[in-house]
Structure 1
Amino acid sequence: MGRRDVGILHPGSMGAQVAAQAVAAGATLRWLPQGRSAATRERAGDIGLRPAADLRELAGACEILLSVCPAAAALDVAAQVADAGFRGVYVDADADAVGPERMAEITDVFEGGAVTVVDGGIAGPPPREPARTRCYLSGDDTAVARVRDLFEGTARTPFVLPGPVGRASALKPAFAAYNKISYALAARACALADGHGVLDDLVDLAGHLLPDTPLGTPEHLATAGARAWRREPEMREIAGACRAAGVSAAFAEAAAATFGRWEAHKDDQAVTAGELIAELGRGTPSGTSPGRKGLPSR
C-alpha cells in the first residue's frame, strides 16, 4: 500500500491511551488537532502523535484509521472519512456501545470504495495496565489480523471474534447493558431511599452486602454524571440492539432517560453523587435530606 501510518479519530481520554499503546508498539500515529481543546493537544503531544492539517491529509497518509468517538458521532465520523477519500482499513473501535445495526450503516458508508471496515469494541478502562482492557475485533480476516498485530503485546489486549462485521458490536452492547445500566439502576435505588429518608442506611447496607457494585460504592455515581452526555445515546444504541434480538428494550430506555436527566453535567468533575441522586427524586422542601449529607463527594 506504500503507507505505514495509523490515524486516530479522536483522542479523548480513551482514544489517547489507545494511541499511546500503538505508539509504544512502534506505530506512527497521526491525528487532527483542528478544533480540539488545549488539554487534548497537550495530551497528543505527550504521547507523540503527529498532527495532520486536515482530514484529507490524514486519510491520505494512513493505511489504518481508528475511530474512538462517542456512539452518537460514529456514523457521522465514518461519513466524513469516506468523503475524504480514505483507502485502507477503517476500525470503528468505540469505547461506547455501537450496535450491529449501526455498524451495518457504517459499513454501507464505505460501500463501493477501497475501504475494509473492522468492527471493534473496547471493554474496560483506558488501557494503562496489562490484562485490564480488551478490544474485540470482527470482520475481514486479513484486516482484523493487521489491527490485532498493531496492538499485540500491549495493554489494549486484542481478541478476535471469528465472523463478519457485527459480532464485536453485538458483544459490546450486551456487556454495557449490564455494566452501565447498573449505574442508572443504583442511582434510582438511591433516589428512592433518599425520598424516604433512608439513604444513609441503604449506602451502609449495600456497602456491607454489595461492596463491589455501584450501589455499594455510590461515590462512583459521580463519574456517571460527567459522562451522561455519552451514556444517553449509548443506551439508545443498546435499546436498538435489544429490539433487533427480540429482547425488551425497556431497561435500556429507562437508563437513557436517567442519564438524560444529567446531561447538563457534561465533563463536570465537581458534581457529587448526592447532587445527581437529588436530581432524580422529588427532594425535600429544605433542599436537603437525612441521607444525602452522608454520601461521599468527589
Structure 2
Amino acid sequence: MGHRDVGILHPGAMGVRVAAQAMTAGAEVWWLPQGRSAASRDRAAGLGLRSAASVEELTAACEVVLSVCPPAAALDVAGQVAAAGFRGVYVDANAVSPERMADITGVFEGGAVTVVDGGITGPPPREKGRTRLYLSGDDSAVARASALFDATALTPVTPAGPVGRASALKLAFAAYNKISYALAAQACALADGHGVLDDLIDLAKRMLPDTPPAATEHLAAAGPRAWRWEPEMREIARACRGVGVPSDFAEAAAETFGRWDAHKDDPTVTGAQLIADLVRGTRPST
C-alpha cells in the first residue's frame, strides 16, 4: 500500500483507540494538536501519535486521513482537509446521514481525493470481536482503508455499495441501540413525575428483567455520551426523512439527550440524576 502514514482528526475517546489499532497494524499515525483539549493531548501523547504543526503538514505526510469526530463537526473537518490540498483517501467514520455524506463528498469534488464512507459500531476498540468499521465506496479506496486494520481489534466490514451505505447501516443500528436509552429514561421520568418510580422498577424487574427500567443505573452510561448522541439523533432524523420514514422518534431522543449536556464526559453521573433532569423539564445549567 506504499507508505503507511495515516492522519486522524480528532483523537477523542473513540478516535484514539482507532488510531491505536492502526498503529498495531504498522501505521504511523499523525494528529493535529492545534485547538485540542488537554485531555486530547494526553491521549495522543500516551499513545505516541506524531504531532503535525498544521493540517497542511498532516495532509502532505499522509495518504489516508480518518475523520472520527462528533457528527456536527464532520462537514467542517472535511472542509479543512480539502482546503489543505489533500491528495489521497479520506475516510469519514462519523455518525452522519447518507445525505450528510453526500455533502462531505461534494466538498472534495474536482480534487484528487477519494472519499470512503465509514461507520463504527460498538465501543472504542480494545478487544477483538466487539467493534466493527463498516466501509463503503470505491472498491480500491475501501481496500486501502480496510488494510489499515488487518488483524486488529477493529474489524473492517466492507458491504458492497456506494458512499452512504455504511452511514445508513450505522445510523439504523444506532437508532435502535441509542433511542432505547431515551425511551427507558422517558418511562422512568413519567413514573417518577407521578410518584410511582419504585413501583415501575419493581414491575420491570418482574416482567422485563435486564432492561434499564428494571435497573436504572444502566441509564447512567448514556449521560457522559449524550452530548454526542444528540447531534447523532438529528442525523438519524434526516436519514429517516430521506426515505419517507417518520423522524419523530429520533427528534424526541435528541431532545432527551440535549437535557443531559451538562454531564458531558462525567463518569460519576447516575441514572437517578438523568431521570431527574427529564422530570425538571428543562436543560440543566452547565
TM-score by length of 2: 0.94
Amino acid at match of 2:93: A
User: Equivalences for 1:50-69 in 2 at 5 Å?
Assistant: 50-69=50-69
Shift of 1:48: 1.9
Equivalent position SS for 1:281: helix
Q: 1:217 to 1:84 in 2, by over 3 A?
A: farther
* Contact 1:103/1:119 (<8 A) preserved: yes
Counterpart for residue 233 of structure 1:
231
* Contact 1:177/1:238 (<8 A) preserved: yes
Residue 6 of structure 1 pairs with residue 19 of structure 2: no
* Contact 1:23/1:48 (<8 A) preserved: no
Over residues 147-190 of structure 1, what are the superposed CA-to-partner deviations in whole Å (9 max), with x where a residue is unaligned?
A: 11111211110000111101001101111110010111010000
User: Equivalences for 1:168-207 in 2 at 5 Å?
Assistant: 168-207=166-205
Amino acid at match of 2:102: A
Q: Distance in 2 between matches of 1:239 and 1:4?
A: 37
* Contact 1:32/1:51 (<8 A) preserved: yes
User: Equivalences for 1:103-114 in 2 at 5 Å?
Assistant: 103-114=101-112
Shift of 1:200: 2.0
Q: Which ranges in structure 1 are unaligned for 5 or more consecutive residues?
A: 284-298
Counterpart for residue 20 of structure 2:
20
Q: 1:137 to 1:217 in 2, by over 3 A?
A: farther
* Contact 2:4/2:26 (<8 A) preserved: no
Q: Distance in 2 between matches of 1:3 and 1:85?
A: 19
Shift of 1:208: 4.3
Over residues 128-159 of structure 1, what are the superposed CA-to-partner deviations in whole Å (9 max), with x where a residue is unaligned?
A: 11100011000000000011111121111000
Shift of 1:36: 1.9
Shift of 1:203: 2.3
RMSD: 1.6
Q: Distance in 1 between matches of 2:20 and 2:229?
A: 25
Amino acid at match of 1:66: L
* Contact 1:100/1:170 (<8 A) preserved: yes
Q: Which ranges in structure 2 are unaligned for 5 or more consecutive residues?
A: 282-286
Residue 262 of structure 1 pairs with residue 272 of structure 2: no
Which of 248, 262, 265 does residue 246 from structure 2 map onto? Answer: 248
Shift of 1:282: 4.9
Equivalent position SS for 2:14: helix
Shift of 1:4: 3.1
> What is the number of equivalent residue pairs in this alignment?
281
Equivalent position SS for 2:119: strand
Farther-moved stretch of structure 1 (66-75 vs 42-51) = 42-51
Residue 99 of structure 1 pairs with residue 97 of structure 2: yes
* Contact 1:195/1:282 (<8 A) preserved: no
Counterpart for residue 151 of structure 2:
153
* Contact 1:3/1:61 (<8 A) preserved: no
Amino acid at match of 2:163: V
Q: Distance in 2 between matches of 1:208 and 1:128?
A: 35
TM-score by length of 1: 0.90
Over residues 7-43 of structure 1, what are the superposed CA-to-partner deviations in whole Å (9 max), with x where a residue is unaligned?
A: 0010011001100011011111011112222222222
Q: Distance in 1 between matches of 2:149 and 2:137?
A: 17
